[in-house]
Structure 1
Amino acid sequence: MNHTEHTHHRDSTHPVGPGPRTGALPGGASRRTVLAGAAAVGAGAVLPLAPGAGPARAATGGAAALRERWHTLLTGGPDLDQGDQRIAAAVERTGKAAVTAAKGLDPTRTDGLFPDLTGTTLSNQVTTAFKRLATAATGWAVPGTPQYGDTALRDLLLAGVDWMLANRYGPAHTRYDNDWDWEIGSALALNDASVLLYDALGADRLARITAAVRHYTPDPNLWRADRQIATGANRVWISTVVAVNAVLRDDGGDLVRVRDALSDVEGSGANSVLAFNDVSAAAEGTGEGFYSDGSFLQHYKHPYNGGYGKELLSSLSRLLHLLAGTDWAVTDPDLDNVRRWVDEGFDPLIARGDVMASVCGREIARPSKQGHVSAQTVVEAVVRLIPGFPGETADRFTALVKQWIAEDTYRDFLGVTDLASLVAAQQVMASAVPARGRLVAHQQYPRMDKAAHHRPSFALGVSACSTRIYNYESIQNENLHGWHLSDGMVLLYTDDLGHYSEDYWPTVDPARLPGTTVMAGRPADAAGQRTTSTADWAGGAGLPGTTLGAYGMELRAYGSTLTGLKSWFCLDDVIACTGSGITAGAGRAETVVENRKLRDAGAALLVDGVPAATGTGWSADLDEVRWVHLEGTGGYVFPVPATLRGLREERTAAWREINTKYGTDTPVTRPYLTLWQDHGEAPDGAGYFWLQAPAASAERTRLWSQAPPVELIAATTAVHAVRRVADGLLAANFWTAGTAQELTSDGPASVLVRPDGKTVTIALSDPTQLRASVTVTLAQRGLTVVSADSGVSTAPAPEGIRITADTSGRHGAALGLTLKRS
């Protein structure tokens, strides 16, 4: 990740300046108190550490011990079991990567260290050059590779470092393009290469290296040429740069500053990366980082768990590994929040090895980030964290890692991860702790307008936006066609684990993303990026411990007059999709039922039981449709017969079309099937209603079309409501005050009412996040309170019971209560 495009101004009450210098590492640093009541969380070793070995490496003394620790993190350590097939394969991968990285390396050139990196306007070329040096140095440092200890390669790499310092990087050179490359990307890679080559560097070269890095990255609290406050993942990256540089220089004082920067001691905690942004002093910061509901925001209002969030987790786990058990170990009690990051901020957003694209920002437009690569980063980070959270958390994380690795049959984690992670992961897999099992849960993220729904046979994510959250990010010429990523996009994850890999994002029709309601046509590249909606209503409510949830958004499209109301009632294996009030002053509006990249180009499509043509180029107007089934995907039931349009096509595109920075020019072709409802030109009050049954068989879909398991109660501009036939559950999204049969709301609200024998469980929220309270009336007599969340009160009403929830300061989170029939 790179580039923070908005500006942070440092509070003048927190002056910038060097932290206390306490001398060299071997003597230890006198600790400045981080926060009152600090507890020694994470003080245990994070990965097994081994001294010695490698090409002439020192392994004794304070600085040497920490270098050894980082070296082990980069190489897996000196005691790799070369007889282990997995490890032998990883060593072979390391050697092959080193060969590729060193290809073309020529320090005698004058225009560039590598023939394809001769430009002086794109800063990522500087980072790429250093990354290649570090990759080749890894091959040189890992026992068993063809390059291990090779003096010719060593000398070539040293000359390469000298060339970069003389021609591209350091105090004598003017930075250009992207600050991230100078202060983070290049610095991280040069630090790694320096640790790997440490004993061959010599004092003069080491001094030049560390001075160059410090020139760009001197302070773990600040970054960019104008010295802005570093936040979120950027702060952890910067801290990592400073920490490894400090180890190379034997400077314990800078390690104190790194430890304190994670908690933002200088800023009184306002930009702590460990604290939740909606808690205590962190609520006064920029808002970037994790929230207590599991949301992660970066670049101010972009959901980014699968981008910057995963990088923060990864980098932090490395820093904790480096500092564990030392005088600089992180002792901030907020470090305990990392447990919840994993449980709530990552686990529900990973679907069998794929991180939900709705929280990956512009990374979805990078070919290098497809194929479950983002989830690999998360798994590696959690593996590193396990020893630092002993006891119940370690067992839970162990069970989770085992599940993640086992269920991702698309990408073999043990066959692609780095050596250190492989060694640690094999220890985890050998544990007696059983795998957790498939996640079955419904989780909403009101802080970032997203929802995740997990059932045994599928997972589903809903992406919205509001006045609080940006629609999508397209900076640095990336993610140029992300126009509708938050216009109600529904991403379905089934046993086709590679669906959103294998070139999905460049080839999918970006104007017809599944679930969205859009105006027909293609906006300009990056049109409307970093834009909030003018609507406040986005969110919903879920019943804890179940997979029952109501979710919705008021759509006010960017760049047109299109408006509408959209709901998704997630009722276990059925999602009731409802829309109303779809209106536009001009242009043709569409709601996309499905847009699927087909694993099998000839996958059967049944329309009311009749097979549709399977050939490429098929298109049709489908009238009075009651049910549709797509082989390998699932079923769609239309209780009110609907007119659909269908299209099979082979779509060809190049990654460069959506990412001119990191994309490739090679055309790729993939088969798609698209189904949508055409609301016509300038619609006025159009709507839709269908039941989505992911992974359902054709027979199950047919039977549900004859007896729909969910009934539509209301689909007006005041309320959407559905009822489940089997148990009478009522789910409603109130856009304004209104009534849905026995349920009445005094204003905007999302409500679920679930009868179960003699009890009734209710969950409700304010998705606008603006109301001080929500009051609903349930027209059922003889109900008394069994339990209620704090802030929920009841009172008798002529028709039944009145329930009032204090929603001030809840930021869209649901409140609940349980009633009993007398």
Structure 2
Amino acid sequence: MTPNPTTPGPTRRTALLGAAALGTAAALPTLAAVAPAHAAEAADAGDASTLRARWHELLTGGPGLDLADPRIAAAVDRVGRAATTTTTGLDPSRTDGLWPDLSNPALSNHVASAFRRIATIATAWAVPGTPQYGDTATADLLTAALDWMLDHRYGPGHTRYDNDYDWEIGAALALNDTTVLMYDVLGADRRERINTAVRHYTPDPNLWRANRQIVTGANRVWICTVVAVNAVLREDTAFLAAVRDALSDVEGGGANSVLAFNDRAGGTGEGFYSDGSFLQHYKHPYNGGYGKELLNNLSRLLRLLAGTPWTVTDPDLDNVRRWVTDAFDPLIARGDVMASVCGREIARPSKQGHAPAQTVIEAVLRLIPSFPGETADAFTALAKQWITEDTYRDFLAVTDLASLTAARKVLDSPVPARGRLVGHRQYPRMDKAVHHRPSFALGISAYSSRVYNYESIQNENLHGWHLSDGMVLLYTDDLGHYSEDYWPTVDPKRLPGTTVTTDRPADGAGHRTASTADWAGGTVLPGTTLGAYGMDLRAYGSSLRALKSWFCLDDVIACVGSGIGADEGTAETIVENRKLRDPGATLLVNGAPALHGPARSATLDKVRWLHLDGTGGYVFPRPARLRALREERTATWREINLKYGTDTPVTRPYLTLWHDHGPAPEDAGYYWLQAPAASAARTRLWSQAPPLALVADSTAVHAVRRGADGLLAANFWAAGRAGQLACDGPASALVRPDGRTVTVALSDPTQLRDRVVLDLAVPALKVVSADTGVRAERTPGGTRITAETAGLHGATVTITLTRS
């Protein structure tokens, strides 16, 4: 039903407001205190013209742009050039479509794309300094284009088809923006027709689709944005109360709130979790896709509603702080959002080149005025770090005018940049882990019975079969590695870190599939870059199984595999698959150059160490037999994305290294140490004296020990023993001695156990500190640690002990 914002009576919103009046609001961002950005806002903040001016400023940068500033001038020039390019081919006299390439009456994306192109031209018309600014001919062309769309494609008289998103969100957002930009020129009758069309498709901030389903996650914020701007255009600002309440899902008792963490009982499961995970479309990790769009559009809505009678006062709004620091910061590697959480967007050419991080930065820049004080300083330091450390994509040269102005203020601020991120973080709710060191970052992508493997809808991401089969993405100073056509050209059957069979699935095969295994996750020692991670891989569409571990111990990652078996098919574990910045990058095998030339394959025997120039080193404490391939790979984006791909062939050089486990293997395994960004000399030294020793690689437990301090890292697949540590069942553990103290971190990666029991063969220990639910008791010859893990959802708990 359509909400009535004037309906009286108690609601969850009144309860929220009551809580704020009692003191809860003291912890909230003081949105009402946001200063007016220009003179137009001196009027009543609830006035439609004031709110329209706010949205106009977000779209254009507002009045008073200093065109003598080179950065501003360059941005204005970009706006003008984009409009000039977009105008090419626009012909409202056509009968099949405004542009020749948007003329398919069966593809809803052609409707939304046409409106987006119109908005691009309208932006240039509204920005001073562009060739289109205030131009009568341009305005006439735009009004004719709008009339054509309303006559032929969009509105109450037209039947929707294909994708609901295009009708209710994509087209509506762009049409609203164009109407704000050209408000006076359009005239009252045309504005009424536009508003009626938008409301026909998107009347209610709580519902969407033709059958009016409850809308969740990023889609809810998109829908709220459409309804809010349309309400401003209709001068029905009282309807903004419905938008404000929809963000908290007052109508649904909060079950679909986009502000609350989804850990709570009764949530939809879509949205942010307190561990930083973000899920959309039920069980897909999506921080870098829908998550960034939720943050982006919410930041716009908060700006629109700030200081009005409809300011968001839900106490859960304070969670946005943690979204930024937990759900985005660790997943950004020098301007690149890790692909493992970008869903099907990795298959879109427009989303490469660090484009997702740009959206995150723009959102955080908008949020800074909404979170004054320490949080504003923290966001400023973070945004400054993100902008300055990305030397691949110049944020100031690609962002919009409003964000450029905000970014310049951040860069001129006395608040220092945060500094390079160093840390290890795991996301149990979405089966992902990230490891940041000063010279590299690394992401591990798994899946389980709780999380889907990959998404391939709308004919996108057609070759994402192995994105969660233990994929390891390494981010070095080659900042463009996963840009510049990586995803169409990489061999999708040999993604780095994965264990696979060599058969080629059909396009999109097995997408939206959860594993039959529960074991995926690990343990992290707080305040360090020490983590144990693993997964019980049970491949989709085959009998392949493998137990896989990654022990991320500062600058070295120990990669352990066991129990690799398949009833049929040849199995492989991919050590590396690197797009080469230098096609002739030297590969050293045991110190000798190998695999010369642009295209060559080889079998490498008795490998003790490898070094790939520009990438780092690989040490094999047990000499290994590897396959190697240096090749030029050619593909088109259309091969992985029928909807947004292009047919232009692109060619990129690759070097691939893998273990060949042979046909129908039984209990095969692997073990190597990865040393990202290490020099050849360091790699050689580590091959002679490995910094880690393998303790166990059975089907019961994987474990390694670090020689420098005796640190023990273990993943227990079942009850078993690893050196001085024994466990009663599935668990992940780190044991770190430090003088007379020992710190133990542990978790239940299956997320099914009520408790985990570890026996540590170190006697006479007493507790110094322990997390809730963790206790220790002495046993003959050792110490027993019991951790209550029910309800922790894979989170790590710790206990510190000391010798008596």
SS at match of 1:592: strand
Which structure 2 residues correspond to residues 305-320 of structure 1 after superposition, within 5 A? 305-320=287-302
- Tell me, yes or no, if structure 1 residue 664 matches structure 2 residue 646: yes
Change (3 A) 1:98 1:422: same
1:51 and 1:68 in contact (8 A); partners too? no
1:622 and 1:644 in contact (8 A); partners too? yes
1:187 and 1:241 in contact (8 A); partners too? yes
- Tell me, yes or no, if structure 1 residue 798 matches structure 2 residue 780: yes
Give CA-to-partner distance per residue, 1:185-207, whole Å, 9 cap, x none: 00000000000000111111111
Give CA-to-partner distance per residue, 1:117-150, whole Å, 9 cap, x none: 1111000000011001111000000011111111
Instruction: Show the counterpart of 2:463.
Output: 481
Report how far residue 155 of structure 1 moved: 1.4
Which region of structure 1 is more displaced relative to structure 2, 386-395 or 495-504?
A: 386-395
Give CA-to-partner distance per residue, 1:238-285, whole Å, 9 cap, x none: 000000000001112320000000000001100100000002xxx313
Instruction: Show the counterpart of 2:790.
Output: 808
Distance in 1 between residues matched to 2:347 and 2:764, nearest whole Å: 56
SS at match of 2:56: helix
Give CA-to-partner distance per residue, 1:155-213, whole Å, 9 cap, x none: 11111111111110000000000000000000000000000000111111111111100
- Tell me, yes or no, if structure 1 residue 334 matches structure 2 residue 316: yes
Supply the AA of the counterpart residue of 2:123: T
Which structure 2 residues correspond to residues 756-775 of structure 1 after superposition, within 5 A? 756-775=738-757
Instruction: Show the counterpart of 1:250.
Output: 235
**RMSD of the alignment, in Å?**
1.5
- Tell me, yes or no, if structure 1 residue 418 matches structure 2 residue 370: no
Scaled by the length of structure 1, the TM-score of the pair is: 0.95
SS at match of 2:31: coil
Supply the AA of the counterpart residue of 2:587: L
Report how far residue 797 of structure 1 moved: 1.2
Instruction: Show the counterpart of 2:433.
Output: 451
Instruction: Show the counterpart of 2:333.
Output: 351
Give CA-to-partner distance per residue, 1:267-326, whole Å, 9 cap, x none: 1100100000002xxx31320000000000000000000000000000000000100111
Instruction: Show the counterpart of 2:736.
Output: 754
SS at match of 2:472: strand
1:44 and 1:387 in contact (8 A); partners too? no
- Tell me, yes or no, if structure 1 residue 206 matches structure 2 residue 176: no
Scaled by the length of structure 2, the TM-score of the pair is: 0.97
Which structure 2 residues correspond to residues 501-540 of structure 1 after superposition, within 5 A? 501-540=483-522
- Tell me, yes or no, if structure 1 residue 96 matches structure 2 residue 81: yes
Percent sequence identity is 75
Report how far residue 760 of structure 1 moved: 0.8
Report how far residue 392 of structure 1 moved: 0.8
Distance in 2 between residues matched to 1:234 and 1:42, nearest whole Å: 26
- Tell me, yes or no, if structure 1 residue 170 matches structure 2 residue 155: yes
2:460 and 2:640 in contact (8 A); partners too? yes
Select which of 535, 559, 580 maps to 1:553: 535
- Tell me, yes or no, if structure 1 residue 79 matches structure 2 residue 64: yes
- Tell me, yes or no, if structure 1 residue 391 matches structure 2 residue 391: no
Select which of 235, 248, 251 maps to 2:220: 235
Select which of 272, 275, 282 maps to 1:300: 282
Which region of structure 1 is more displaced relative to structure 2, 650-659 or 606-615?
A: 606-615
Distance in 1 between residues matched to 2:150 and 2:665, nearest whole Å: 62
Which structure 2 residues correspond to residues 692-771 of structure 1 after superposition, within 5 A? 692-771=674-753
Supply the AA of the counterpart residue of 2:751: Q
Which structure 2 residues correspond to residues 135-146 of structure 1 after superposition, within 5 A? 135-146=120-131
Give the number of equivalent residue pairs: 794
Report how far residue 108 of structure 1 moved: 1.8
Supply the AA of the counterpart residue of 1:216: Y
Distance in 2 between residues matched to 1:329 and 1:44, nearest whole Å: 7
Report how far residue 61 of structure 1 moved: 7.7
Instruction: Show the counterpart of 1:50.
Output: 38
Change (3 A) 1:123 1:46: farther
- Tell me, yes or no, if structure 1 residue 268 matches structure 2 residue 268: no
Distance in 2 between residues matched to 1:401 and 1:450, nearest whole Å: 24
Report how far residue 35 of structure 1 moved: 5.6
Report how far residue 83 of structure 1 moved: 1.2
SS at match of 2:49: helix
Instruction: Show the counterpart of 2:273.
Output: 291
2:763 and 2:778 in contact (8 A); partners too? no
SS at match of 2:101: coil
2:46 and 2:237 in contact (8 A); partners too? no
Distance in 1 between residues matched to 2:338 and 2:539, nearest whole Å: 23
Give CA-to-partner distance per residue, 1:612-638, whole Å, 9 cap, x none: 132122111111100000000000000
Instruction: Show the counterpart of 1:788.
Output: 770
Report how far residue 106 of structure 1 moved: 1.7
- Tell me, yes or no, if structure 1 residue 404 matches structure 2 residue 386: yes
Select which of 760, 778, 792 maps to 2:760: 778
2:60 and 2:402 in contact (8 A); partners too? yes
Distance in 1 between residues matched to 2:531 and 2:159, nearest whole Å: 54
Report how far residue 484 of structure 1 moved: 0.2
Distance in 2 between residues matched to 1:112 and 1:564, nearest whole Å: 52
1:773 and 1:807 in contact (8 A); partners too? yes
Select which of 47, 63, 68 maps to 1:62: 47
Distance in 1 between residues matched to 2:328 and 2:604, nearest whole Å: 40
Change (3 A) 1:123 1:815: same
Distance in 2 between residues matched to 1:419 and 1:199, nearest whole Å: 22
Report how far residue 22 of structure 1 moved: 8.5
Instruction: Show the counterpart of 1:689.
Output: 671
1:22 and 1:253 in contact (8 A); partners too? no
1:59 and 1:68 in contact (8 A); partners too? no
Distance in 2 between residues matched to 1:470 and 1:611, nearest whole Å: 41
1:21 and 1:252 in contact (8 A); partners too? no
Change (3 A) 1:548 1:37: same
Change (3 A) 1:510 1:42: farther
2:45 and 2:51 in contact (8 A); partners too? no
Which structure 2 residues correspond to residues 563-712 of structure 1 after superposition, within 5 A? 563-712=545-694
Distance in 2 between residues matched to 1:748 and 1:440, nearest whole Å: 29
Report how far residue 699 of structure 1 moved: 0.2
SS at match of 1:284: coil
Give CA-to-partner distance per residue, 1:513-551, whole Å, 9 cap, x none: 000000012111011000011000000000000000000
Distance in 2 between residues matched to 1:19 and 1:540, nearest whole Å: 48
Which structure 2 residues correspond to residues 184-195 of structure 1 after superposition, within 5 A? 184-195=169-180
Distance in 1 between residues matched to 2:308 and 2:482, nearest whole Å: 43
Report how far residue 44 of structure 1 moved: 4.3
Report how far residue 821 of structure 1 moved: 1.6
Distance in 1 between residues matched to 2:15 and 2:545, nearest whole Å: 53
Report how far residue 115 of structure 1 moved: 2.1
Supply the AA of the counterpart residue of 2:635: A
Supply the AA of the counterpart residue of 1:484: H
2:34 and 2:307 in contact (8 A); partners too? no
For structure 1, the residue ranges without an aligned partner over 5 or more in a row are 1-15, 24-30
1:636 and 1:692 in contact (8 A); partners too? yes
Distance in 1 between residues matched to 2:276 and 2:65, nearest whole Å: 37
SS at match of 2:487: helix
2:16 and 2:315 in contact (8 A); partners too? no
Report how far residue 105 of structure 1 moved: 1.7
Which region of structure 1 is more displaced relative to structure 2, 614-623 or 526-535?
A: 614-623
Report how far residue 391 of structure 1 moved: 0.8
Distance in 2 between residues matched to 1:377 and 1:17, nearest whole Å: 31
For structure 2, the residue ranges without an aligned partner over 5 or more in a row are none
